Structure 1
Amino acid sequence: MKTKARNVPLTRAAVLGAALEIIDRDTVDRLSMRRLGEALDRNPMVLYRHAANKAALLDGVAEIVLAQLTVDATDPDWRHQLRSIARDFRKLAVAHPNTVSLLVTHPLSTPLALRPLGTLRPLEDILELLTRADFSGADALHIYRALFGFLHGHILNELQEIVEHPEETDDLLRLGFHRLPIGEFPLLRGLASNLATYDGASELERGLDILLSGLTTTIAPAATRPRKERRS
């Protein structure tokens, strides 16, 4: 379906928006300059003025998705802000599940300083949030890595959660646990109801409770540390 008339000026925002629509509908693998040109009613060669190649196009899509992630670096309650960021990141992933590879795995193949600037903005803003809370730069980075390591794992788990037979009413059958050897994996079988009723939002909150409690216990802002420890 064409999203733009030929007489409307073509902008980078329009190109990336149309690319995101294709990815949302058909996955990253189905995006091509040819299909994007058809969607925009333009010669595909014109698109190279806005993205040098498909890799640059995908970087741009990641940027416009992450641009929707709001980080308030001035929030005096860093725990509240990290929880808000985590919730918003999950919402973006659930709204655009086909972009998760661009947000989670694709960046790992690119050195940090070579990634699109827009994808680095959340990192910079979270570091500012935490250093404002009197964490050292190194501790702030550790907290960021712990948070997004958890978030990435949670999102991949939530979006790839598969129930083998959703029409079944028995949880063991829904999960296909009847295929497991009888007498083995008793603990896993005992959690069938929990596994079959996976709630991504609730799991996120529980995970954040555990993560933030642990971070609060093990990493303290400089101002709250004993004076001797601060000097060391």
Structure 2
Amino acid sequence: MTQQLDTSRRTPLNRGRVLEAAVALADGAGLEALSMRRLAEDLGVVPMALYKHVANKDELLDGMVDVIVDEIAPAVPGADWKQSVRQRVLSARQALLRHPWARQVLESRTTRTPAVLGYMDEFIGMFLAGGFSVDLTHHVMHALGSRMWGFTQELFDDAGTHRAEAEAQPEVQAAMLQEMGRRYPNILEVAMAARHDNGSVVSHGCDDQFEFEFALDLLLDGFDRLHCRGWTSAAAKRASG
């Protein structure tokens, strides 16, 4: 352990090492554990040494996002637009699954780094290269939203509900479901239908990966139909006279 720490201290500190260590710290201990002091301890340096490479914690978080963006696989050469978009979105999702804290950081960023802008530019470029008009591509990007980064807000995010049920006695669980059915019958019917067998998913609830790909494919198929129809928005038609 001492030899490993000595080796770490002898390795010159640079921005890349700082960002990689920050990502590893967030992966292992959670985003709430990330601080400049804790990061410096992990790197075996004094906190002030970090500020030569990142100006503050916001810049550190921006850099950590860049690390995640760099993990997203590039578009497949020669693939059609739909295959390229699908592959990039699912690659982005895999990156976020490897780093559970990344979604929170992505949603909190108010500035866009060159790496983030580059990813967005390449993403838009896949539609334009596929023959999409600028008008259709604009609306496609709105429809995809955060899905281009591999995540979306889930309607049936019921982990807290299942945790409460698991901690309750059977008779309390039954009463909870009965009251839910009385007050919100449609929600309960659909939510209960999503409870898969234990062998199909880890724990109870929806298969998040399936649901994500299901919605992504619906969107891509819809974009394809609009593209083939030569769809133009009403605003674009008015602008063109």
Question: Would you call these one fold, judging by a TM-score over 0.5?
Answer: yes
Deviation at 1:215, TM superposition (A): 1.5
- Matched-pair identity in %: 26
Deviation at 1:11, TM superposition (A): 1.8
Cα RMSD (Å): 3.4
1:182–1:160 CA distance, 2 compared to 1 (3 A): closer
Look up the SS of the partner of 1:180 in the other structure: helix
Is the Cα contact below 8 Å between 1:24 and 1:98 reproduced in 2? yes
Is the Cα contact below 8 Å between 1:127 and 1:140 reproduced in 2? yes
Aligned equivalents of 1:142 and 1:75: distance in 2? 25
Is the Cα contact below 8 Å between 1:131 and 1:140 reproduced in 2? yes
Is the Cα contact below 8 Å between 1:16 and 1:60 reproduced in 2? yes
Aligned equivalents of 1:152 and 1:158: distance in 2? 18
Partner residue in 2 for 1:124: 121
Look up the SS of the partner of 2:54 in the other structure: coil
Partner residue in 1 for 2:97: 94
2:223 to 206, 215, 225: 215
Q: Which amino acid letter does the alignment assign opposite residue 182 of structure 2?
A: G
Deviation at 1:55, TM superposition (A): 0.3
Is the Cα contact below 8 Å between 2:54 and 2:60 reproduced in 1? yes
The number of equivalent residue pairs is 218
Q: TM-score, normalised by structure 1?
A: 0.79
1:122–1:179 CA distance, 2 compared to 1 (3 A): farther
Is the Cα contact below 8 Å between 1:134 and 1:221 reproduced in 2? no
Is the Cα contact below 8 Å between 1:73 and 1:128 reproduced in 2? no
The range that moved more, 40-49 or 82-91, is 82-91
Which digits, 9 at most, give the CA deviation of each residue in 1:132-175, with x for residues without a partner? 1122234323323322344569544399651223589x9x949x
Verify: 1:23 aligned to 2:35, yes or no: no
Deviation at 1:51, TM superposition (A): 0.3
Partner residue in 2 for 1:50: 53
Unaligned runs of 5+ in 1: none
Is the Cα contact below 8 Å between 1:19 and 1:61 reproduced in 2? yes
Verify: 1:194 aligned to 2:194, yes or no: yes
Look up the SS of the partner of 1:5 in the other structure: helix
1:6–1:147 CA distance, 2 compared to 1 (3 A): same
